[in-house]
Chains A and B, each alone.
Chain A
């Protein structure tokens, strides 16, 4: 009886494919190949431009992060990045795949099954998903994707944050939990490298990234398409085993799994496979681990890396405020007077004032190398908080400050770009006098040598057009003991300022973590 059952089970599972199955497979093949192979020139330029002798974690991240996106480039239609309409590329590719599969069906009528092609398609999808999710996971494993909130963020009203910021911060405050989510993602990816653990890896991938997709839809995080991309790949990988699982668990029948594995027995095939597989695993596990670790320790990519002036750090009450010689008393409603000043452990100073500004509504992420462009502390935040990046001449005690929020100068930027075609204006890169410049440290090299890369040096040399359009302040600081600080100088409107700050030992209910990124000694 048992032998009979065995044979039955086997034939039931290794029969020829129906016409419908074949058409479905052809469609899936075309669809997932388009999804898994980078089809834009930029990707290849980036990949070829990498200096492998001077790697940065972001080089590997950039290679790993791509998903199909043509519709907005090819067609002149307006599609928002929000909500379900952002999935339009999938619909487009599906339409194409359905049509192409029809032609394929006509040309390949004699075919009984696609077992081998299915195997190779699964290999491509497995590796694509694995590499993508591991690169994503490492930014959480070394908690930098959601950086611990700056002190200025802690002093912002809950209602003055975007939904996106609220969710991101809720992970920021628990770095150890973020490590755990990174472990889950890296584990899912690692399991996909091996065919015997593929189903479990894919299930883990669908569970974690499915949640991230919903989170992005619910909080307007804007990354739902990329998260959904992994859900799609993971689901495709899981479908392979559904028939057997259904048979074993729901029908409760004896199940003989039949798998088609190519016999790679020629030496070039055997060693080729071994070399390729090992290379991918080594690059995206130990190598990426090392570079991401360096990033976490010395240059956390969403928060400024250069350490700020030690004696100034802290939360201050603005005891006295004079503008153009006129004193303004404290009022939470005054549209000019500063209310509180915070010096972060890095090179940021912020104050609060009851005056609306155009807000930076970005995710505050990306791959900026320069501290001034690392905007997590200012993006998605309202409530009158102004955040400035400073360069400090510590001999003459002068701070040269530039606004970190570039949303307010977008109009000016557009106007400049228009004019730029007619006459190339020389960027005003000498607003800091030579007498000070020599005492200001070079930010590009002011972090730990291990974290300095080609990429960083190059980007620090670039001066963006927004740099000389940014609101600027020049403030001289003096302090005896760090408890009282006096700032004098000019704001962005060239009004003179005289400000007396007194340090406040600010208590927070949210507790600090034992795990913190960057070095700010």
Chain B
């Protein structure tokens, strides 16, 4: 046996030269397009964005505000998020490329500008992923399944809701994903480690994009938007990676090192510091505080004391007629769940017009939190108002498709596991019900490590 050392016949002198040579026309034109395209994507120029920015209450900053700042998308055309917007921006970039090519013919290369292009892509991408990373680390993006959800059947959720519920069911996994995202985001902030961050995000965001398609989620456009930045960063080093690892050739490193004027050099550190301070430190801190005080997917208004639980509808009287248990009855309530917070959900056969919230909306107002009511059928979710002095619950259906479903119930609690309610529900029907709390153990919580009889 002998050993061989592959030695490439291209002398290193030539390699270095190609690394410093003037660019050809194709390279220059492609660059002009890439530069225009990426800058139009990364720099917030969309006026829709500023409507959101101007509505932020800076004195009373919520983590959702920073999230909104980071979650910019150039929705010039549609005002929402659509591939049409990306094509529109590409079109504008095409026009810019034509003009630029006509005006700037003598240029040898754009190495310096290429550097700044990568800087824009790196920071835009970092802000985008760190915004989600902290939400996952503090288990806010997908909260643990709540009582109503534990008592809803698997087939009654949409794909997207099941995706989120399944993630929420495993805090360790959700946090792991958050840490991966955060690490990748931070690696992007340093020129030399950006390639590692981008490689991680290529896999990570690629997965998110495909998950959004598979689970019918609403962030496939936004994730593809972020993937464009990933590709820009990867492209710069792709040749070197292939040369070193696959072609096994001597490889020249990146030879471009930006030279900053003293002013820029200072400004650079200030901006970099500000970025880290806002998106990593301040935002992380705000999210951790928000997780305790006001998570965006769980209401905070307290429910009636000691009421939380699953209730069997023992008796149900509809317009004076007692309706016995009947799983197919169109009106009779089948089960009622009171959450710890002021939310009650009622299972019945009254049709639910499916409501779906498929993108991350981070809002701190209880009445804007629609996570629980999203993507589920055969159960109606209500906010309720109550006060100490009275025995009236004011219910309002959370589902925007059922916003007319508002009613009042008079309640009495003869003992701590019984609730009697009476009122006029939607369709002007007079009802009376006796609710009995069920003690129920959940296999989800008991786990599979010890034998279970349930």
Contacts and interface: CB of A to CB of B under 8 A. Distances in A.
B447 A116 contact: no
Given A174-B159, A252-B254, A217 B13 contact: no
Contacts of B361: none
Given A82-B449, A260-B3, A509 B328 contact: no
B150 A356 contact: no
A359 B452 contact: yes
Given A215-B173, A509-B155, A511-B159, A263 B2 contact: yes
B448 interface: yes
Interface stretch (A40-48, A132-140, A324-332, A484-492): A324-332
Nearest to A169: B154
Interface stretch (A57-65, A156-164, A425-433, A437-445): A156-164
Interface in B149-179: 149-159, 161-163, 165-166, 169-173, 176
A51 interface: no
A259 B376 contact: no
Contact of A9 (B176, B203, B250): B250
B451 A220 contact: no
Interface stretch (A93-101, A241-249, A271-279): A241-249
A167 B377 contact: no
Chain A interface extent, by class: 35 or more
Contacts, number: 250
In this complex, which of A3, A254, A358 has the most chain B Cβ atoms within 10 angstroms of its Cβ? A254
A156 B240 contact: no
A214 B155 contact: no
B54 interface: no
B391 interface: no
A375 interface: no
A217 B377 contact: no
Interface stretch (A25-33, A194-202, A303-311, A396-404): A194-202
Contacts of B162: 169-170, 173, 510
Contact of B5 (A156, A169, A259, A509): A259
Interface stretch (A15-23, A147-155, A225-233, A288-296): A147-155
Contact of B444 (A153, A158, A407): A158
A412 B163 CA distance: 40
Contacts of A207: 203
Contacts of A170: 162-163, 166
B448 A361 contact: yes
Interface string B373-415: 0011100000000000000000000000000000000000000
A380 B149 CA distance: 18
B137 to A, nearest CB: 14
B151 A157 contact: yes
A159 to B, nearest CB: 3
B451 A358 contact: yes
B145 interface: yes
Given A6-B12, A177-B210, A257 B166 contact: no
A217 B245 CA distance: 33
A21 to B, nearest CB: 18
B125 to A, nearest CB: 18
Contacts of B163: 170
A508 interface: yes
A245 B196 CA distance: 11
Interface stretch (B90-98, B111-119, B319-327): B319-327
Contacts of A253: 253
Given A163-B447, A317-B328, 13 more contacts: A3-B11, A163-B170, A166-B444, A167-B169, A176-B214, A180-B214, A215-B173, A218-B173, A241-B245, A249-B237, A333-B438, A509-B161, A511-B158
Interface of A: 2-3, 5-6, 9-10, 14, 80, 82, 115-116, 149, 151, 153-164, 166-167, 169-170, 173-174, 176-177, 180, 196-197, 199-200, 203-204, 207, 214-215, 217-220, 241, 244-245, 248-264, 317, 329-333, 339-340, 356-359, 361, 380-383, 407, 504, 506-511
22 contacts: A14-B5, A115-B3, A158-B151, A159-B145, A160-B444, A166-B169, A166-B444, A174-B159, A177-B214, A196-B247, A217-B172, A220-B448, A249-B254, A254-B12, A255-B253, A260-B3, A262-B1, A330-B324, A358-B451, A359-B443, A382-B454, A511-B158
Interface of B: 1-6, 11-13, 16, 145, 149-159, 161-163, 165-166, 169-173, 176, 192-193, 195, 199, 203, 210-211, 214-216, 237, 240, 244-255, 312, 324-328, 334-335, 354, 375-377, 438, 442-445, 447-449, 451-454
